[in-house]
Structure 1
């Protein structure tokens, strides 16, 4: 069942990690990866818990840079549970792994311009990734991955956790270390999403997300500048399709602190500088993320 089109743009942010970052109508939300985003871990089993709060302070009308009238706000809090197994086997010279993401969401929306006031909690759409490839060079790392967001979350209400369609996601990225001691790094991670149809036959346009980071190590601690950009690269099709395309751009900072062997905590804050609407009102706001990384 398709969600209210107006609210779905606001909730795109969490459907899958959705760290919530409101975005074009896709599952993946930018802001969950930053420094060394394109570096896959060595063989082993890992848990990554992304706790994200996205505070929406404005909604833009489709095809306009003007905010919607009245009081319009929203808050999305998500715990995206990511499980990664790097198997120890190699494919094409890369370490091979698999992964899965199970997001838990709490969403509150007030959009007076659309007559929406709704708050709900639930399990979002689950991601299954049967292919993760990680290459490691002397001063570089590279990653490639493929998987699918399932249509598994509940839908039907503006703040429902699911999106009402499946998405195929392809990932590629590179981390480069500017010195042999690997104390200074730059990374870029690209994700491409092709969406399936909703029950009504609407297919949202393809989406590209780029997350980047410039990091510096100060002993065991890393700190740096991070950011993300997201673009809708093709038009919607089917009933209710829009001719407008969504995009958003944000800048922030991140700190990585190793708490114990095999245990690290990452913290980041982002401020969205620009957001353009596609289907439905486009949210714009700020994001705070805490990531717990545990190696088993």
Structure 2
């Protein structure tokens, strides 16, 4: 199976609640920014696969937000992927589920909170195609607002929420170009629609988000890459039904390395954020293990 082990998607969220409104509620989103890179569009043969993700995200400033800000989020995300023998439109059918476990600390203008627990549940179905050096997939993902969530109050203005209290649906497209010379050109793009947070009467705007990777195999089992992500909010947030004219944006870039064995692979990366608007600005460290049963 070698390098054809699945390397797509994950379910990570780092959600924190401020007492005021920012682009996408509190400047956070449910897309797993930076989770995928090398071979993002290449699906494996039929079978059951385990993907284990670890992410640390750290930021000490919020662009266009509170003057004093700090967030440190650690997440472990087990994800199971089942690739079937069934084809639809000549594409191989697969399913996945992911459940983040999150440890979150946040400080805002002298106030702080922390929380540990289950994040929101991710469910998805996908189709994958292969033709010579080209690999691509289409998926439909749903994020259910099942994670731990508490509304702010006069005595507790800042909440370190690890759930969002609203649902998200997103179509996803991923593509990988892989050739015998060792080049790996991969991307994953998506568009997200969010339901309203009934507890705050706040609706986060629609957004585009994607990961990218340009890699090269330097040894039979080792690839190095330049990877990153891009997030761009396309529609304004609505607070009590009114647009607040505040949209988030971020670009990240950094190095990555992958080791792929017969039935497993391990990828590590460091991504630094830049060109940020109306969001936290920080950096992320990722580890991803893929195991074929």
**Fold agreement, TM-score > 0.5:** yes
Q: For the residues of structure 1 that align with 2:108 and 2:238, how far apart are their CA atoms?
A: 26
Question: Hey, what does 2:9 align to over in structure 1?
Answer: none
Give 5+ residue unaligned stretches, structure 1: 13-22, 63-67
- Output the CA distance in 2 between the equivalents of 1:10 and 1:118: 21
Deviates more, 1:237-246 or 1:219-228: 237-246
Q: CA deviation at 1:134?
A: 0.7
Identify the range of structure 1 (229-238 vs 242-251) with the bigger mean alpha-carbon deviation.
Answer: 229-238
- Give the Cα separation in 1 of the matches to 2:238 and 2:38: 36
Residue 29 (structure 1) shift: 2.9
What are the equivalent positions in structure 2 for 1:118-267 lying under 5 Å apart?
118-129=113-124, 131-156=125-150, 158-177=159-178, 179=179, 181=180, 183-199=182-198, 200-218=200-218, 219-239=220-240, 241-258=243-260, 260-267=261-268
8 Å contact 2:50–2:290 — kept in the other structure?
Answer: yes
RMSD: 2.2
Q: Residue 238 of structure 2 aligns to a residue in which SS?
A: coil
TM-score (norm 1): 0.85
**Contact kept? 2:215, 2:225, Cα under 8 Å:** yes
> Contact 2:48/2:82 (CA < 8 Å) preserved in 1?
yes
Structure 2: runs of 5 or more not aligned: 1-14, 152-158
TM-score by length of 2: 0.86
Moved over 6 A (4+): 7-12
Deviation of 1:175 (Å):
1.1
